Structure 1
Amino acid sequence: MPGAKAAAASFLLLAAGALSTGALAQGSCAKPIYLTFDTGHMGVAPLIAEVLKRQDVRVTFFAAAEPTQTGGDSLDSQWAPWWKVRAAEGHEFASHTYDHAYWRGDIKGMAPRFRIQPSAGAFAGRQFTWDAEQYCANIAKASDRLQHITGKKPLPLFRAPGGKTSPKLLATAKACGYEHVGWAPAGFLGDELPSEKFSNEKLLQQALERIQPGDILVAHLGIWSRKDPWAPAVLEPLIVGLKAKGFCFETLRQHPAYRAWIASHS
């Protein structure tokens, strides 16, 4: 779209000016933000990787074995080389549950049990009752698969699909070694919202106005429902614009809320 291209050009010029005056040169990260990506159909994954490399930005990927545009899933052998290169570039990884398993409710009783609905895998769309062992196994399965294909141990973190949890679910995951990671209100970048109501230009402007130091940001490696994809129009202008405002990007390994947990569970 012309508006998105103009915005990209404007923010690239802004960053160039900031770099020429040394505004972005800093020995430490005084205004950190934490960009994260959940998996999706992977259609924009190559583009996202190119932007991150060009902008020298490290992020944290939360991965599930979700259906892709090429007919497999996001953790299959076709995508293994893509993940391996991201590991070599210094990105971090964590679980998004293997079957992109949504929490739908707690089951009453002494032992933790949950209503779970996977949106990926052989049982996508069906609801099940999982106990703590089953839920933890699904978190671990994604983490183990990531380690197998990248050769890098994922962080002891996870993100529940949709960010949907309960105190009992969080306690269960923590007991089996996984701390949950959500996102800041301003960090919801809107790439899964309908483009008819939330244009890329609007989402870019909103993010640049609202994001604050310390925020965790979330986007996806492909959203089936959005007609005007977010990443090609917004990702690079957003990164450039945030850098020009003095923000710097870190992975969740450096996040103050998770550093101690990661150190003690690695």
Structure 2
Amino acid sequence: MSPASLLAAAALAALLPAAVGSATDAPSTGAPACRGTIYLTFDTGSQSQAELIAQTLKRHGIRATFFLANEKTVRGDWSLDPSWAPFWRARVAEGHAFGSHTFDHVYYVKDGAGGAIVVKPQFGAGAGKQASWSAAQFCDELRRVDERFMALTGRRLDSIWRAPGGKTSPRTLAAARECGYAHVGWSPAGFSGDELSSSRYPNALLLQQSLAGLKDGDIFMAHMGIWSRKDPWAPANLEPLIAGLERKGFCFGTVPEHPAYLHDHSNKIKK
């Protein structure tokens, strides 16, 4: 588990206050007013829960935000292979939002000399090896997802990205901004815990803490499948989490609708 995950786990256990601003959607005609808005986000992973997540969101009429990397899947292919085009096209048709998660799920390691960014891809030709990139190369890695997604679906990404493991630096954030991407993390109470040990963090505990801690404006993060978790999070927790939040009067939105990103018109992806 990455240091970022350990920190997030500590934040989860402590149920710290939300780290992002709040917002309330305007109610539609005849519908009760929302008590607040939660922003569900899902990062690619093993994709073992991809269909379940998609169908659960569709059943509840929820639009979420997906952050995409080209990751190895339980089907033996890759999450941005042409074989996944029907899945992603269906999500586009449903009105979800999409951001870059770096093509090869590239972890930031440290700042290097002369403005370089030291990274470690998880997949691809350089998997497991550290490399020193310029800001332009870092931007190219974000754009690779946009180019592939456009080829698969005919739609461009939204101008947002999420760093693998949530690991960033002022240098990576600046490089991404230069090519039009705003970084999206998650709220302390929005850490699902789906990458943690299921023996130490059983699903029932994670669900209880999410329902107790999530507040108006919070960005929630889960994965579309995690290889390492013995008892997967989504089958047990996604439906009761959504139902529980709905009972509390929460509505749901996509990250581009979040007040922290809605009015930032400067973030346009530079092709």
Q: Determine helix, strand or coil for the equivalent of 2:199.
A: coil
Q: Determine helix, strand or coil for the equivalent of 2:83.
A: coil
Partner of residue 214, structure 2: 211
Contact 1:155 1:262 in 2 (8 A): no
2:66 is aligned with 1:61:
yes
The 5-angstrom pairing of residues 153-164 of structure 1 reads: 153-164=156-167
Residue 212 of structure 1 aligns with an amino acid whose one-letter code is K
Root mean square deviation of aligned Cα: 1.4
CA distance in 2 between counterparts of 1:29 and 1:122 reads 47
1:41-77 Cα offsets, whole Å, 9 max, x none, are 1111011111111111110000000111122110001
CA distance in 1 between counterparts of 2:236 and 2:214 reads 18
Partner of residue 82, structure 2: 77
Please list every run of 5 or more consecutive structure 1 residues that lacks an aligned counterpart in the other structure: 1-24
Q: How far does residue 133 in structure 1 lie from its aligned partner after superposition?
A: 1.0
Partner of residue 239, structure 1: 242
Percent identity (aligned)? 52
2:211 is aligned with 1:186:
no
Partner of residue 92, structure 1: 97
Partner of residue 18, structure 2: none
TM-score, structure 2 as length reference: 0.85
Q: How far does residue 262 in structure 1 lie from its aligned partner after superposition?
A: 4.9
Contact 2:100 2:145 in 1 (8 A): yes
Q: Determine helix, strand or coil for the equivalent of 1:78.
A: helix
CA distance in 2 between counterparts of 1:28 and 1:98 reads 39
Structure 1 residues 247 and 178: alpha-carbon distance in aligned structure 2, compared to 1, 3 A threshold: same
Q: Determine helix, strand or coil for the equivalent of 2:215.
A: coil
Partner of residue 223, structure 1: 226
Contact 2:173 2:183 in 1 (8 A): yes
Q: Determine helix, strand or coil for the equivalent of 2:237.
A: helix
2:117 is aligned with 1:114:
yes
Q: How far does residue 122 in structure 1 lie from its aligned partner after superposition?
A: 2.2
Alignment length, in residue pairs? 240
Residue 32 of structure 1 aligns with an amino acid whose one-letter code is T
CA distance in 2 between counterparts of 1:255 and 1:158 reads 14
Q: How far does residue 151 in structure 1 lie from its aligned partner after superposition?
A: 1.8
